[in-house]
Structure 1
């Protein structure tokens, strides 16, 4: 079914926002290796500074969702785009101050601005779009394009330019997207019933926040939130440590794809990693289209199970040749991103429209905030145990728990939904 004009307008606006959030997010690790050399700081200090950017990216999702419900998602997304781009201008300017702490300020500003997007963007899709599954698919694809292009463009520009000019160049698309968004025209409540107030609300008081949160967590959303948290633990752990795990494999060592980047230790494993993210584009599309045909809980059960198998398969495959490693990374990348439209749709199914921003705020607090705990857990496991088997066993456990919880959602807990009650199979009819 073709998208109507309103759906297309919202899709274009949110796709631009989603791609740019991840464009900025995944370029930061590329700058990390440059900053280590430029400022001659320790891994401990640079890690703390990078955390200043990523921590509010997750923690700020909840207040971002509250603000989206109060002021409307379009305003919040415009603020996000302008704020992220301005933060990268601050990063570029910090080079002239010759201070790593000025970089910390820029990263902190980026994290605060970026945290707004997911609750606002997904709330907009869930209340404004009729063909929600299709737009979730294209929205996810746009995110993966940003995820792949951010590090690729940053690394490529570093061949020719100083890092501060690269940071400034990366900010330009964000400003252009904000200008485009100012002219975008759409109805943000077109997909909800006329008697449902899904537009900007009055200021949410503390008692109102507590009451709305209590209502959400007394419903099936509580289970969805835990499911998303375990998906976040799996996602962040694997994507954080997979490049460094690949780097030490005999099958990969010694391959220098771009000699000009050798000074920054960017090697074959980086391009395998980017390839994995590109394959995720197809996963996002297929997953999004399937949300129109499958209940979200059923899709979550199946894909969590596949991800668990993929994680366990890394244990023997890392001892094999390059072809086997690349093939497994491709399969893994496909399903890692195919799962995302299903949990995004689950939030839309199991929550009322007038708290959708708050719902997605909690969702991404779990995904990016609590999910980031696997970075610390993974570092400890990789450091404390010989080899990577224990790490892959750990992330496999996250996927298996997610599958078990999704099965519970599928077989009956969903009947207590705070949104519309959804017996098995009914979700696909939205």
Structure 2
């Protein structure tokens, strides 16, 4: 990578890690807030939903703003907003203040993915490599957020812990303000991919219509099915692993009572996902995105179906399956991120990634309700079959995209370098 690629990589990796650092630390506070404010689980769940809902729903307006003001400025605003939200939590004395802090976090966090990925897509020459390291950084944040929060809460008050968690974000803001790079270095000189004037409503509809009249329409649905699979599996897999009899076979030393082996298997899955992110990112430099998506989606379908028989084979088989699952689940992400960059014009990249993460985190969150209904009224096997269905739908759509590559791409949306003609 050249100096510009490295600078953008460092900047976006920092932002990606911190988004998930904050995101995954929030659930650690739930048990404490239940006792602190003497409220029911249903009410607290509604309060927490105020934070997570904008995380997905705000992606589209964030993408529009990234095209308008430039992705670097938006990422810095995101980092500042998330840090401020945790400082609000640190001073909270009521459940209303908690709700305000979480709402601020969700709005600020929704900015990152459209802005950060737009920056990589227009500023980085070795896009696949940076997508790989970017994904790894996200997994580092996913694993470290809850670990650090839980460890600090052993000896410190939760308000102080919330304030401490904000510190890396504040440091990142200072770093981001001083970072220098060319955000359009990977775009041809005759193409305008820089900040634009504010879009009128008519222009927004026009640009959106152009996007959805091209191959991006298929990519959007593909990403939505990936989001349904991702959110459903990661939401309910910890609970399912807790109920597996094989977990009782893992004896823990004295003094470690209360630690659940299933939780460590789950965290290990997330850590292995870093390797999947790296491998997937490197493969995007060699494999056309639609073809790669076919293979990864089909593997995810097989893995979902395999969970029921494998959980009856013993602890070793479960550990291996979860490791492979983590690798594949996160390995697919660079492919759909690259697909957006390949099938959209540079000057609407923020809008494109805004729609992408509306599908991934917004529409994809529907699998939480679907999965809860299925697990509540049917068997665990039925749940995994439903989840596998999402992956099979993604497989078929990706195959259609690969088969009709030239036909689906609109005349005003030429293929970018890196796609096989």
Residue number in structure 1 paired with 2:107? 112
Among candidates 354, 358, 369, match of residue 351 of structure 2: 358
Q: Which segment is superposed worse, 116-125 or 156-165? A: 156-165
- Report whether the alignment pairs 1:400 with 2:392: yes
Q: CA deviation at 1:428?
A: 4.5
- Report whether the alignment pairs 1:339 with 2:332: yes
Among candidates 60, 63, 72, match of residue 61 of structure 2: 63
CA contact (8 A) 1:300 1:406 kept: yes
1:369-388 → structure 2 map (5 Å cutoff): 369-385=362-378, 387-388=379-380
1:87-166 → structure 2 map (5 Å cutoff): 87-94=85-92, 97=93, 99-166=94-161
Residue number in structure 2 paired with 1:310? 303
Q: Which segment is superposed worse, 102-111 or 222-231? A: 102-111
Q: TM-score, normalised by structure 2?
A: 0.96
Matched positions, count: 420
Q: Which segment is superposed worse, 276-285 or 30-39? A: 30-39
Residue number in structure 1 paired with 2:239? 244
Task: Flag the 1:85–1:253 CA change in 2: closer, same or farther, 3 A.
Answer: farther
1:224-239 → structure 2 map (5 Å cutoff): 224-239=219-234
What's the CA shift string for 1:179-233, capped at 9, x where partnerless? 0011100010110011111000000111110000000000000000000000000
What's the CA shift string for 1:354-409, capped at 9, x where partnerless? 00000000000000000000001111111111x31111111000000000000000
CA contact (8 A) 1:26 1:147 kept: yes
Q: CA deviation at 1:414?
A: 4.9
Q: Which segment is superposed worse, 8-17 or 40-49? A: 40-49
CA contact (8 A) 2:68 2:197 kept: yes
CA contact (8 A) 1:237 1:372 kept: yes
- Report whether the alignment pairs 1:193 with 2:188: yes
Among candidates 257, 266, 273, match of residue 280 of structure 1: 273
Q: Secondary structure at the match of 1:161?
A: coil
CA contact (8 A) 2:114 2:350 kept: yes
Give the gaps of 5 or more residues in structure 2: none
Task: Flag the 1:153–1:261 CA change in 2: closer, same or farther, 3 A.
Answer: farther
Residue number in structure 2 paired with 1:82? 80
Distance 1:178 1:145 in 2: 19
Task: Flag the 1:202–1:83 CA change in 2: closer, same or farther, 3 A.
Answer: same
CA contact (8 A) 1:291 1:428 kept: no
Q: CA deviation at 1:148?
A: 0.9
Residue number in structure 2 paired with 1:51? 49
Task: Flag the 1:396–1:290 CA change in 2: closer, same or farther, 3 A.
Answer: same
Distance 1:416 1:247 in 2: 45
Task: Kindly report the root-mean-square deviation, in angstroms, between the aligned alpha carbons of the 2 structures.
Answer: 1.9
Distance 1:329 1:253 in 2: 17
Task: Flag the 1:260–1:181 CA change in 2: closer, same or farther, 3 A.
Answer: farther
Task: Flag the 1:61–1:260 CA change in 2: closer, same or farther, 3 A.
Answer: farther
Task: Flag the 1:22–1:414 CA change in 2: closer, same or farther, 3 A.
Answer: farther
Q: Which segment is superposed worse, 314-323 or 4-13? A: 314-323
Residue number in structure 1 paired with 2:319? 326
- Report whether the alignment pairs 1:267 with 2:260: yes
Q: CA deviation at 1:258?
A: 9.5
Distance 1:218 1:124 in 2: 24
CA contact (8 A) 2:60 2:358 kept: yes
What's the CA shift string for 1:306-342, capped at 9, x where partnerless? 1111111111122232211111111100000000000
Q: CA deviation at 1:266?
A: 5.5
Task: Flag the 1:212–1:259 CA change in 2: closer, same or farther, 3 A.
Answer: farther
CA contact (8 A) 2:214 2:413 kept: no
Among candidates 38, 41, 51, match of residue 39 of structure 2: 41
What's the CA shift string for 1:230-278, capped at 9, x where partnerless? 000000000011111111221224868698896xx65222211111100
Q: Secondary structure at the match of 1:252?
A: helix
Among candidates 335, 348, 365, match of residue 341 of structure 2: 348
Residue number in structure 2 paired with 1:416? 408
